[in-house]
Structure 1
Amino acid sequence: MSLNSKAAPVSFRNVTKIYGKDVVAVDDINLEIEAGKLVTLLGPSGCGKTTTLRMIAGLEMASKGSIHIGDRDVTLLPATDRDVSMVFQSYALFPHMTVMENVSYGLGFSGFDKAETKDRAAQGLELVGLRGFGDRLPSELSGGQQQRVAVARALVLEPQVLLFDEPLSNLDAKLRRQVREEIREIQQNLGLTVVYVTHDQEEALAVSDNIVVMRNAGIAQIGTPRQLYDAPADRFVADFIGEANIIPCEITTVHDRTATIQVGDFEHILPARGLDVGTALLAVRPTRLKIGATNGMKMTIAKATYVGSRMEYTLEAAFGQIFAISENVDAPLEIGSQVTVGLDEIGPVLLPTDLAV
């Protein structure tokens, strides 16, 4: 039997989760997750992302609002009735069971006979690249292989929604890249609805169709990886999605949705993003700074670090320090030297100062 997806959308409607009398873990969020998409909940510790995931799973119950999976209101349903599967950070494999027995475990409670259970478990192992590993114990596998067993165990149940809670945090950096690519490939091939929790920005950018950035129990911004990276809504998102230099500036004119800004004696033109004349912030990625430009901001090289494929520079300016990256490793700039730093035509974005928290 093929592992066809029964992917369903997920909807949060004014959902709040309160612990005790006054600890608000999730505060009145609205969220629509399309069927067949991988959506990542991203944010710092304590922002509400794991609580949101656990409310989809039915491991936590919403205090207010409603949660829908497909056309069903599951707000009050127990975890066993929600048709979701969850892959945990700790793998949660039974050490005394073989790989095949671990993958088959959930099927034993789903009414399948022994032949179909074995067939589904074998297909699950095939999907995650572990054919032939069925007789091994978890202790005989690497961390990456154990995580794939956990994924296979969740997949064979053919859930409407597959949940991942920090699934790669126990793996080393190289293995994290490999396993996240495998998870993304499986999700796309099967058309699964996946909700994925991580605090790792690079991981979120690599695997997601959409990212929900959470802050202080609420949603700061939702968008595609590129939308969030290139057009953050505020300073928090700019800082959290990749690295960003935040430079104070003055908007001197706005005409036809285009702003002219000034940083010291340097002027630059870019989209106004709804802002008007006055003080603002400029968010610039380290790769969007042009060291040695003919027109730009006057700065001094404070630190220079060679990291193999590029040079990393800390630059000192009148407004403070910024971080820049240069691929020119053959002619590094000397500490203390004066440079002119310009901006790429695309990339730097204006942010409002009143959201700079």
Structure 2
Amino acid sequence: MKLNSKAAPVSFQNVTKIYGRDVLAVDKVNLEIEAGKLVTLLGPSGCGKTTTLRMIAGLEMATSGRILIGDADVTTLPATDRDVSMVFQSYALFPHMTVLENVSYGLSFSGFSKSETRERALVGLDLVGLKGFDARLPSELSGGQQQRVAVARALVLEPQVLLFDEPLSNLDAKLRRQVREDIRAIQQDLGLTVVYVTHDQEEALAVSDEIVVMRNAAIAQIGTPRQLYDAPVDRFVADFIGEANLLPCTIESVSGDQATIAIEDYRYSLASRGLSEGPASMAVRPSRLVIGAPQGFSATVAKATYVGVRMEYTLEASFGSMFAVQDDVDQPLAVGTDVTVGFAEKGPVLLPEG
């Protein structure tokens, strides 16, 4: 037996959520989530991402607007009438039940016979790499294994949409990497529609087909991980998605869609992004600063840190500090060294004001 996916798209049409009289949690959000994709809602605390997830689940009701799952308008439906499953941050396993009983719990209310319930639960455990763990209690499992049980319990219900609310926050760094890879592999193998909430940028970049960056109850930018990393729409997204140096520059000329910028005596050509001549700012990733470039601007090494696989440097220039990384760990630069800093071929991006 193989679990079949009933993956469905999710649509938010001008959805607003207000708590009480005036607490705006989600503000006129329009969002299309394709069937079979993993979409992450990413943002700082209080941005509206968890409220958005809970409105898909039916745990919160929209104040206005429409929410569709597949072709069905679920805006006013209670959670029990929506074909979704949710994996919580706390796992929410029953401590007195075995792993198999925990995974079977939801199935026992779905009209399946005892034998089919057992079979489906065993398939679910196999899918998450826990074959043979069915007789154990949650207390006999590691944190990562408990999270997999919670995933299996959600999977066996074959939901149209599978929801994850900060699923890895209780795990250590090594386990987080492993479990996020497991979740991504299962989602892709089964073609599930997954909506995933996190505040961890690296986690979002690692698992997502698409990322929805939220800020102040609204959507700041939607795109693939690479689109958001390489072409953030503004300073907030640039600074929030991975690390970015926000540097001042001057746009000296614009020709078509290309601009020539200047930092001190250094000139560099890049996409103009609709900007015109004059003062501007740009974002450049630490790995795209080239220390020791033949052409560039002047800086001094203020701090050098060895972190195993790379060197991390804080550089001081006339306009402020920058953070840069280098793979060469065998010949690190000494603090106080004067260097020339340039940009990699795929280097900075100009940022619209705001």
1:252-274 deviations in Å (ceiling 9; x for gaps): 10001100111122111111111
> Within the alignment, does 1:86 sit opposite 2:86 as a pair?
yes
Q: Is the 8 A contact 2:250 2:279 kept in 1?
A: yes
In structure 1, C-alpha distance between the alignment counterparts of 2:73 and 2:189, rounded to whole Å: 28
Alignment of 1:130-279 (within 5 A): 130-279=130-279
In structure 1, C-alpha distance between the alignment counterparts of 2:186 and 2:269, rounded to whole Å: 43
TM-score by length of 2: 0.99
1:298-338 deviations in Å (ceiling 9; x for gaps): 01111111112111110101110000111111221121121
Query: Could you say what secondary structure the match of 1:233 adopts?
Result: coil
In structure 1, C-alpha distance between the alignment counterparts of 2:200 and 2:162, rounded to whole Å: 19
In structure 1, C-alpha distance between the alignment counterparts of 2:311 and 2:119, rounded to whole Å: 53
Alignment of 1:339-354 (within 5 A): 339-352=339-352, 354=353
Matched residue type, 2:231: A
Matched residue type, 1:215: R
In structure 1, C-alpha distance between the alignment counterparts of 2:3 and 2:54, rounded to whole Å: 25
In structure 1, C-alpha distance between the alignment counterparts of 2:116 and 2:27, rounded to whole Å: 44
Q: Is the 8 A contact 2:289 2:347 kept in 1?
A: no
Matched residue type, 1:145: Q
Query: Could you say what secondary structure the match of 2:105 adopts?
Result: helix
Query: Could you say what secondary structure the match of 2:106 adopts?
Result: helix
> Within the alignment, does 1:61 sit opposite 2:61 as a pair?
yes
Query: Could you say what secondary structure the match of 1:189 adopts?
Result: helix
The alpha-carbon deviation at position 347 of structure 1 amounts to: 2.8
Percent sequence identity is 78
Matched residue type, 1:127: L
In structure 1, C-alpha distance between the alignment counterparts of 2:292 and 2:136, rounded to whole Å: 58
Alignment of 1:294-333 (within 5 A): 294-333=294-333
Matched residue type, 2:326: S
Q: Is the 8 A contact 2:125 2:149 kept in 1?
A: yes
In structure 2, C-alpha distance between the alignment counterparts of 1:53 and 1:77, rounded to whole Å: 15
In structure 2, C-alpha distance between the alignment counterparts of 1:133 and 1:308, rounded to whole Å: 36
Aligned structure 1 segments of 4 or more residues deviating by more than 6 angstroms: none
Corresponding residue for residue 21 of structure 1: 21
TM-score by length of 1: 0.98
The alpha-carbon deviation at position 345 of structure 1 amounts to: 1.4
> Within the alignment, does 1:70 sit opposite 2:80 as a pair?
no
Query: Could you say what secondary structure the match of 2:205 adopts?
Result: helix
Unaligned runs of 5+ in 2: none
Query: Could you say what secondary structure the match of 1:168 adopts?
Result: coil
Corresponding residue for residue 116 of structure 1: 116
